[in-house]
């Protein structure tokens, strides 16, 4: 029987052939790798990890933008389980057939590792072997009962699927045939539903954007001076340093360079630094990281990128073509291989982008790297102003999002983000089945804790249905990005290839639209206190009269969302109220607002009607002075008369 050659599953995912380890050649029967078998290499091809090592380092194989852990630490396991855990991970990394040409990513293998680590811990506690647990159904069910994490349970499901797919003659493990996957699904259901990331309420969202814009604009005003200051600091190991440090590195007082305050004054920055308590190199290092984080949050708020997507952006990734702002990077989630992807954004990110690109170019200068090869959000610790990191030749460290001290929120007015009763009411309108008041994070008075996932979902939700943006300031802030995203993401059934990644914000907008439309319809039509007119509005009013509690019971919400998902109803705002037509509107072609009055799908509110009449009166009065004999004047006058007649009709009906 011939030997079998197994190529690493992660090989299709790497762009550098030097990093590729040798294939594993297995002879008939169970054949473990030799202790010195190379499992990973550095970017330049040097040995990084061998099978016998208790730490396997796979950082060179991480996909673009992925900064998660990529090191498998086997030293935490006892002798009774370590060998099994190593062999199982080797099976997933080298032997199993992923079923995809793109292989298995290291981040996916890390998910498997967490599941196997939990199983090993259970086996150590019970005093049993891993092979025993996998083979006996009662032991596996006992293990399932200890799992409290859905991600670990899902990881276990995948690992078992892979083990079942290969012969036990190869793996050495006989997985219990009695353990059905519906048992795993049952345990998944027992863990309950994961709460979705909340939509950021209008007021809090608008306040964050306002504070970010002010902060970034203020920094942008001193950006050029700041660049010259940092360049001077980097070019001289004494400049801006304390006297004790200058003395420590071997200089006499007569050769001292200006201390921090004097150096900052030379560049006209001391007053600015004083505002943010930047008084020495360590505080400057922390401040730069906070500015970088604030700029990154600005990009997330106006693109809807995932965290890994923003970390995949290179310098030079912002383009402006015919007034359209676009960021281009790479993505890999669910795709497997790196793929160029673009995100529509708006001019609001321009200053933030310029700032982080300046930081990246400074880091490139320190590392003696080509600016084109440096990621946009590379760690600013390479500047060695405070806590420094050294490039290890394996990977570039990225901006550390886990260090709370480096977050921009430390420099903003956090009290403005305290949850109010109105904010809580808004959350309840959007997701009424979630017990918001029972969650500590959303109790009135608690400070809202922002996450990147929230920016992504909130932007998708508000772009999907602009009627949910009730605050004028937020409408103004999101005006440009909403318009551009609607044009490029929403106005055709087929997405352009550059926006067609499986998990792109464009697809999330379409996914969120039914629920967003339903929320707007429920809030502005079904639950409004204002009386409704127009054909659909009158229909709703009649329904309300038939029940003492109004048309909408809380249990009906899911039914209404289903109707929107099935395309049985639609919702869009109009100057007069709303429209619920499913088909393309043929009234818009007439450019006549009065055509909505007789539409069978219209909802008209008296307050909106009065506003339209007032504006139409002003317009007609202007035309009566400038061109009283024109066709335009007669047309607009007829429009006004029709609106007034409709108003008179509903008033007389009320009386």
Q: Classify residue 471: in a domain, yes or no.
A: no
Beta bridge partners of 602: 579
Query: CA neighbours within 13 Å on the CB side: how many for 614?
Result: 8
DSSP state of 63: P
Per mean pLDDT, which range of 20-29, 92-101, 172-181 is the poorest? Answer: 172-181
| Integer Cα distance of 86 and 91 in angstroms | 9
pLDDT tens for 509-563 read: 888 888 889 888 988 898 888 999 999 999 988 887 666 554 454 457 778 888 8
CA angle (169 as vertex; 95, 124 as ends), nearest 5: 80
Q: Token pair 């809090």 is at which residue? A: 204
pTM for this model (two decimals): 0.76
Of the candidate ranges 146-160, 302-316, 334-348, 446-460, the one whose mean pLDDT is the lowest: 334-348
Are 209 and 280 part of one and the same domain? Answer: yes
- Coil/strand/helix, residue 55: strand
Place of tokens 């400038």: 626
Domain match, 99 and 183 both = yes
Q: Is 324 contained in some domain?
A: no
Looking at the structure, do residues 241 and 357 belong to the same domain, yes or no? yes
Q: How many domains does the chain have?
A: 3
Q: Are 166 and 181 in contact (CB under 8 A)?
A: no
pLDDT digits (tens, 9 = 90+) for 321-335: 999 999 998 765 444
pLDDT band at 621 (very low <50, low <70, confident <90, very high): very high
The CB density around residue 245, as the number of other CB atoms within 10 Å, is: 15
Residue 88 domain boundaries: 4-190
List the Cα angle 377/462/435 in 5-degree steps. 95
Q: What is the per-residue pLDDT for 492?
A: 59
pLDDT at 393 over 90: no
Angle (CA) 151-155-157 rounded to 5° is: 120
- Domain membership of residue 489 (yes or no) is no
The answer to whether residues 276 and 206 belong to one domain is yes
Tell me the three-class secondary structure of 172-215, residue by residue.
Answer: CCCCCCCCCHHHHHHHHHHCCCCCCCCCCCHHHHHHHHHHHHHH
In a domain, 295, yes or no: yes
- Phi/psi class of residue 99: alpha, beta or left (left: φ > 0; alpha: ψ in -120 to 50)? left
Tell me the C-alpha distance between 565 and 518, whole Å: 9
Question: Do 215 and 174 fall into the same domain?
Answer: no
Q: Which DSSP category does 320 fall into?
A: E
112 belongs to a structural domain: yes
The order of strands in the sheet holding 532-533 is 532-533, 602-605, 577-579, 572-574
Domain boundary among 155, 190, 225: 190
Q: Pick the residue with more confidence: 257 or 335?
A: 257
Cα Rg of the chain, angstroms: 31
Q: Is residue 484 part of a domain?
A: no
180 and 213 belong to one structural domain:
no
The answer on 11 and 145 residing in a single domain is yes
pLDDT at 448: 95
Contacts of 526 (CB under 8 A, 6+ apart): 540, 550, 551, 552, 560
Q: Roughly what angle, to the nearest 10 degrees, separates helices 350-367 and 202-221?
A: 50
What average pLDDT does the chain have?
85
169, 190, 211 — which closes off a domain? Answer: 190
Asked if 186 and 206 sit in the same domain, the reply is no
Here the tokens at position 334 are 């669910």
Give the pLDDT confidence score for residue 338 in this predicted structure: 63
> pLDDT tier at 591 (50, 70, 90 boundaries)?
low
Same domain assignment for residues 78 and 24: yes
Amino acid 335: pLDDT: 40
Specify whether 32 is located in the same domain as 170: yes
| Distance of alpha carbon 102 from alpha carbon 107, whole angstroms | 14
Provide CB contacts within 8 A for 99, sequence distance 6+.
Answer: none
Domain final position from 368, 388, 412: 412
pLDDT at 98: 66
Condensed to tens digits (0 to 9), the pLDDT of residues 9-26 reads: 776 445 555 567 888 888
Q: Do 154 and 249 share a structural domain?
A: no
Mean pLDDT for the stretch of residues 424-435 = 85
- Residue 184 located in a structural domain: yes
Tell me, what's the pLDDT at 549?
52
pLDDT in tens, 58-88: 888 876 656 667 889 999 999 999 999 999 9
Is 130 found in the same domain as 44? yes
Determine, yes or no, domain membership for 451. no
């Amino acid at each position: 029987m011939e030997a079998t050659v197994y190529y690493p599953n992660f090989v299709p995912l790497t762009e550098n052939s030097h990093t590729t380890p040798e294939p594993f050649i297995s002879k008939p029967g169970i054949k473990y790798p030799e202790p010195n078998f190379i499992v990973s290499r550095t970017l330049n091809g040097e040995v990084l990890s061998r099978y016998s090592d208790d730490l396997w380092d796979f950082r060179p194989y991480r996909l673009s933008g992925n900064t998660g852990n990529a090191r498998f630490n086997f030293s935490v396991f006892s002798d009774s389980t370590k060998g099994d855990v190593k062999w199982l991970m080797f099976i997933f990394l080298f032997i199993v057939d992923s079923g995809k040409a793109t292989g298995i990513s290291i981040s996916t293998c890390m998910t498997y590792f967490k599941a196997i680590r939990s199983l090993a811990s259970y086996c150590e506690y019970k005093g049993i072997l891993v092979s025993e647990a996998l083979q006996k159904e009662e032991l596996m069910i006992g293990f399932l009962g200890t799992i409290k994490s859905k991600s670990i349970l899902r990881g276990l499901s995948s690992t078992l699927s892979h083990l079942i797919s290969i012969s036990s003659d190869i793996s050495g493990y006989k997985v219990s045939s009695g353990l059905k996957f519906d048992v795993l699904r049952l345990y998944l259901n027992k863990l309950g539903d994961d709460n979705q990331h909340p939509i950021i309420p209008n007021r809090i969202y608008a306040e964050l954007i306002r504070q970010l814009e002010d902060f970034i604009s203020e920094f942008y005003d001193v950006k050029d001076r700041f660049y010259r200051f940092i360049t001077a600091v980097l070019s001289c190991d004494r400049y801006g340093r304390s006297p004790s440090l200058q003395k420590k590195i071997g200089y006499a007082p007569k050769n001292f360079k200006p201390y921090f305050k004097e150096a900052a004054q030379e560049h006209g920055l001391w007053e600015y630094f004083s505002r943010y308590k930047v008084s020495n190199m360590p505080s400057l290092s922390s401040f730069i990281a906070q500015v970088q984080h604030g700029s990154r949050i600005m990009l997330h708020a106006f693109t809807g990128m995932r965290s890994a997507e923003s970390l995949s952006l290179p310098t030079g990734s912002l383009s402006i073509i015919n007034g359209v702002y676009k960021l281009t990077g790479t993505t890999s989630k669910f795709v497997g291989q790196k793929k160029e992807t673009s995100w529509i954004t708006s001019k609001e990110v321009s200053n933030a982008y310029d700032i982080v690109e300046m930081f990246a170019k400074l880091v490139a200068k320190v590392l003696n790297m080509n600016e084109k090869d440096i990621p946009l959000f590379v760690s600013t610790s390479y500047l060695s102003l405070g806590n420094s990191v050294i490039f290890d030749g394996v990977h570039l460290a990225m901006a550390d999002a886990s260090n709370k001290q480096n977050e921009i929120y430390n420099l903003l007015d956090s009290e403005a983000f305290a949850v109010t009763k109105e904010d809580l009411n808004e959350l309840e309108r959007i997701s009424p089945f979630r017990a918001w008041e029972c969650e500590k994070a959303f109790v009135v008075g608690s400070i809202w804790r922002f996450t990147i996932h929230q920016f992504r979902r909130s932007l998708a939700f508000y772009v999907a249905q602009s009627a949910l943006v009730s605050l004028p300031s937020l409408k103004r802030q999101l005006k440009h990005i909403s318009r551009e995203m609607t044009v490029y993401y929403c106005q055709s059934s087929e997405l352009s290839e550059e926006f067609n990644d499986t998990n792109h914000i464009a697809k999330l907008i379409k996914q969120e639209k039914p629920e967003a439309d339903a929320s707007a319809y429920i809030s502005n039509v079904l639950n409004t206190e204002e009386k409704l007119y127009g054909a659909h509005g009158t229909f709703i009013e009649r329904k309300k009269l038939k029940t003492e509690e109004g048309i909408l019971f809380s249990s009906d919400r899911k039914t209404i969302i289903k109707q929107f998902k099935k395309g049985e109803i639609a919702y869009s705002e109009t100057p007069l109220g709303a429209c619920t037509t499913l088909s393309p509107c043929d009234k818009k072609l007439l450019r006549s607002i009065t055509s909505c009055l007789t539409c069978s799908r219209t909802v008209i509110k008296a307050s909106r009607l009065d506003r339209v009449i007032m504006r139409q009166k002003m317009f007609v009065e202007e035309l009566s002075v400038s061109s009283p004999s024109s066709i335009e004047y007669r047309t607009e006058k007829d429009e006004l008369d029709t609106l007034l007649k409709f108003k008179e009709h509903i008033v007389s009906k009320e009386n």
